Amino acid sequence: MSSHPIDLEAALAGFDAIWSPRIIARINDYDVRLARFSGEHVWHAHERTDEFFLVLDGEIDIALRENGGERVVTLPRGSVFVVPRGVFHKPSARAEAAVLLVEPAGTSSVGDSHEEVPGHVEVTTGHPAWTGGRP
Amino acid sequence: MSSHPIDLEAALAGFDAIWSPRIIARINDYDVRLARFSGEHVWHAHERTDEFFLVLDGEIDIALRENGGERVVTLPRGSVFVVPRGVFHKPSARAEAAVLLVEPAGTSSVGDSHEEVPGHVEVTTGHPAWTGGRP
């Protein structure tokens, strides 16, 4: 996808939109995406795939519905977490955070099952990122 | 694999060995690995998979054989790069660096084709990492 290294800070500087992932790299049929999180996303589940989160800046929470209950995992900067396939989850961030995601290309940002999507959350499989090359 | 977030610094603190990747997470049939790079790895190629590098600390070089020649890409901290499948490459680091890798589980650290492997480079598909849970 890109024949040169991509600086994550520069790629993040290329967009402001929250909950609107940008695709910065491709690993076989997987996307590496960058996203800005702020406020609450929606409860959703990816039926056929795990989802990997790495917090680059700030801190995020991921609420999870498991074993008939709910729990929240908090991911500070520099931590990673995998939401298993089929698990309903709702990411959120009290202040703006930057996150690197890895998931199969074509994975919807709101999964296969989700609650009603509010206006501040985009339904997308990711947008091309500006990654430092000439357009 | 882990039901709690993994702190990358803590996971890195759990091992000293260079060129000896630790598996910190699983995304479907992909591994997320951490590795310490120092000095030179070996020329090798993964015939069936791309390989993703994210530099967490320090700086690495990846020499690539492409189009009948060689080039070197330099990845400073906070940058990412994907080596395409089939491309011979040789990672190196002038000073010790810490790298997060994503590739299919079972991918050998020296690929499917490689030059002679010196003693300081381990041939491995990755080791379990200590990720903060109870053993």
Q: Would the pLDDT of A134 be above 80?
A: no
Q: Would the pLDDT of A45 be above 60?
A: yes
| Tokens coding B103 | 């590739």
B18 and chain A: CB distance < 8 Å anywhere? no
Handedness of CA B95, B100, B103, B106 (dihedral sign): positive
Enumerate the residues of chain A whose CB falls inside 8 A of the CB of residue B27: 30, 49-52, 82, 102-103
Mean pLDDT of chain B: 93
Q: Which residues pair with B75 in a beta bridge?
A: B60
CB contact under 8 A, A82 and B30: no
What pLDDT, on a 0 to 100 scale, did the predictor assign at position A113? 86
Q: Would the pLDDT of A58 be above 50?
A: yes
Tell me which chain B residue has its CA closest to the CA of residue A26: B82
Report the C-alpha gap between B111 and B49 in whole angstroms. Answer: 9
Q: Which residues pair with B26 in a beta bridge?
A: B31
Q: Would the pLDDT of B135 be above 80?
A: no
What confidence tens digit (pLDDT) does each residue in B62-110 have? 999 998 999 999 999 999 999 999 999 999 999 999 999 999 999 989 9
SS (H, E, C) chain A: CCCCCEEHHHHHHCCCCECCCEEEEEECCEEEEEEEEEEECCCEECCCCCEEEEEEECCEEEEEEECCEEEEEEECCCEEEEECCCCCEEEEEEEEEEEEEEEECCCCCCCCEECCCCCCCCCCCCEECCCCCCC
Q: Are A16 and A86 in contact (CB under 8 A)?
A: no
Kind and range of the H or E element at B5?
none
Nearest CA-CA distance, residue B113 and chain A, Å:
19
| Tokens coding B32 | 């997320």
Rg of chain B over all Cα atoms, to the nearest angstrom: 14
| Tokens coding A30 | 């997987």
Average pLDDT over residues A32-55: 97
What confidence tens digit (pLDDT) does each residue in A69-92 have? 999 999 999 999 999 999 999 999
Superfamily classification of domain B22-128:
Jelly Rolls (2.60.120.10)
Burial annotation A117-132 (CB, 10 A radius, 16+ → b, else e): eeeebbebebeebebe
Q: How far is CA A63 from CA A111, A117, A118, in A?
A: 15, 17, 18
What pLDDT, on a 0 to 100 scale, did the predictor assign at position B134? 45
pTM more than 0.90: yes
Rg of chain A over all Cα atoms, to the nearest angstrom: 14
A113 and chain B: CB distance < 8 Å anywhere? no
What confidence tens digit (pLDDT) does each residue in A8-34 have? 999 999 999 999 999 999 999 999 999
Domain boundaries, chain B: 22-128
A106 and chain B: CB distance < 8 Å anywhere? no
What pLDDT, on a 0 to 100 scale, did the predictor assign at position B11? 96
A70 and chain B: CB distance < 8 Å anywhere? no
Mean pLDDT of chain A: 93
Percentage of residues of chain B with pLDDT beyond 90: 79
**DSSP conformational letter for B77:** T
What pLDDT, on a 0 to 100 scale, did the predictor assign at position B133? 54
Which residue from A34, A133, A33, A78 is spatially nearest to B77, judged by alpha carbons? Answer: A78
Q: Are A80 and B25 in contact (CB under 8 A)?
A: yes
CB contact under 8 A, A78 and B8: yes
Residues 40-59 of B with CB under 8 A from A: 49-52, 54
